[in-house]
Homo-oligomer: A and B are copies of this chain.
Amino acid sequence: MPVNQRSYEYGTSKSSIREIAAYGAQRKAQIGAEKVFDFSLGNPSVPAPEEVRRSIERSLELPPVQLHGYTPAAGLVEVRQRVAESLNRRFGCDYGAGDLYMTCGAAASLSISFNALVDPGDEVIVIAPYFPEYRVWIQTAGASCVEVMADPQTFQVDTEAVCAAITSRTKAVVVNSPNNPVGSVYSRQNLEELADVLRERESALGTAIYLVSDEPYREISYGCEVPWIPSLYDRSVVCYSYSKSLSLPGERVGWVLVPNTNPDHDELVPAIAGAGRKLGFVCAPALFQRVVMDCVDVPSDVAAYERNRKALTEGLSALGYEYIEPQGAFYLWVKSLEPDAEAFFQKAKALELLPVPSNSFGCEGWVRVGYCVSHQTIVDSMPAWRRLAEQYAQGDA
């Protein structure tokens, strides 16, 4: 192979989510968009708020050299200050611009964090089911990715299983709440238990274990508390993105927060900057840093997702489907009607229903139904969901 083997493999092994979405697009072209019910992607269906457009227009009045010039590697100080103030207001903390590092979105936030933290041979624990790119970034940073299944009933963190998986090489545990793919939100009690486990293991093993909180869905929750991780566990790092909250996934802007309460703060802040530098990130896109400054407190349009969530859960409930009660994000985690989620997916696909089977997320027996789609898609999909259930009820499936 004349090129790097692993890069080649990452470039040829398509994500199954993208493959399903590609099939959906092709199928829509064949039989009409309204006849295909594509629930595969996590691409926000809610438009960016009007404030984003106004912020861009306002920025265009700045001198171009100032507007489009390099920013500091960590981002414009005034942007980070505004983000810190927003976090301080919301979570009663005392962060400053120096605790934040602006990134090219959540993928960059996570990749940079792993590269800042791990040494070759380290282990990073992820809670399955999980976003499959975690594994790619963890391995690229030189660590191995250790899967720990969530509690199979509640899909909360199975803290005993995490405890059992921790070794002297465990450098970090990744949590993602509101959760992709499940749509669950980890409760305060669950996270307190996790924090206790980590502190106990740190003390027993004489190691430092980081809690990396991947929070792109923080603003998308349905009435429940989304606990602020750094208030529960000191050695934490928060990875954020505006992809979902401001519906800007293509613009690539987010941040990493190293809380000033993290005991390794003074080593970790430069390590984050150094990791960004070594991966080839120079700064987050300058114009969208300013958009973040202007829109940091603009609320996400959760109402649209909430309406979809209601229609989907009520519809599937009435048809006898089981699912995990969605508390956040825009995914419904539906139990497959047979143990083999891939087989279930194939039968759904024959009815033009396109969820994502759970094996893509490291877990058996479920599908992820992304309801970041038009409301009409959900309404129109119900007859197909009914036929699918009927096939299983009649033993035809």
Interface residues of A (CB under 8 A from B): 1-12, 43-48, 52-53, 56-57, 60, 63-65, 67-71, 104-105, 107-108, 110-112, 115-119, 133, 136-137, 139-141, 208, 247-252, 264, 267-275, 277-288
B6 touches A274 (CB 8 A): yes
Contact A279 B3 (CB under 8 A): no
CB distance from A275 to the nearest CB of B (A): 4
Q: Given A250-B285, A275-B10, do A264 and B3 touch, yes or no (CB 8 Å)?
A: yes
User: In the complex the two chains form, is A252's CB within 8 Å of B208's CB?
Assistant: no
Query: A8–B47 contact, CB under 8 A?
Result: no
CB pair A278–B6 under 8 Å, yes or no, is yes
Distance (whole angstroms) from the CB of A70 to the closest CB of chain B = 5
Residues of B near A273 (CB, < 8 A) are: 10-11
Complex CA gap A105/B68 in Å reads 13
Complex Cα distance A338/B293, Å?
48
- Closest Cβ of chain B to A38, distance in Å, is 14
Q: In the complex, which residues of chain B have a beta carbon less than 8 angstroms from the beta carbon of A250? A: 67-71, 283, 285-287
The 5 closest A-B pairs by CB, nearest first: A111-B280, A11-B274, A250-B286, A10-B274, A11-B270
With A69-B250, A104-B281, A287-B287 in contact, do A116 and B7 touch (Cβ < 8 Å)? Answer: yes
B279 touches A111 (CB 8 A): yes
**Which residues on the B side are within 8 Å of A1 (C-beta)?**
267
A110 (CB) vs chain B CBs: closest residue: B280
From residue A48, how far is it (CB to closest CB) to chain B in Å? 4
A208 neighbours in B (Cβ, 8 Å): 2
Residue of B at shortest CB range from A3?
B271
Least CB distance from A100 to B in Å reads: 14
The answer to whether A48 touches B64, judged by C-beta atoms less than 8 angstroms apart, is yes
Contact A53 B64, CB 8 Å, known A111-B280, A274-B8, A278-B137: yes
Chain B residues whose C-beta falls within 8 Å of the C-beta of A64 in the assembled complex? 47-48, 52-53, 247
Q: Are B69 and A283 in contact (CB under 8 A)?
A: no
Contacts of A57 in B (CB 8 A): 57, 60
A120 vs chain B, min Cβ distance (A): 9
Min CB distance A60 to B, Å, is 6
Decide: A267 and B3 in contact? CB cutoff 8 A.
yes
B104 near A11 with CB under 8 A, answer: no
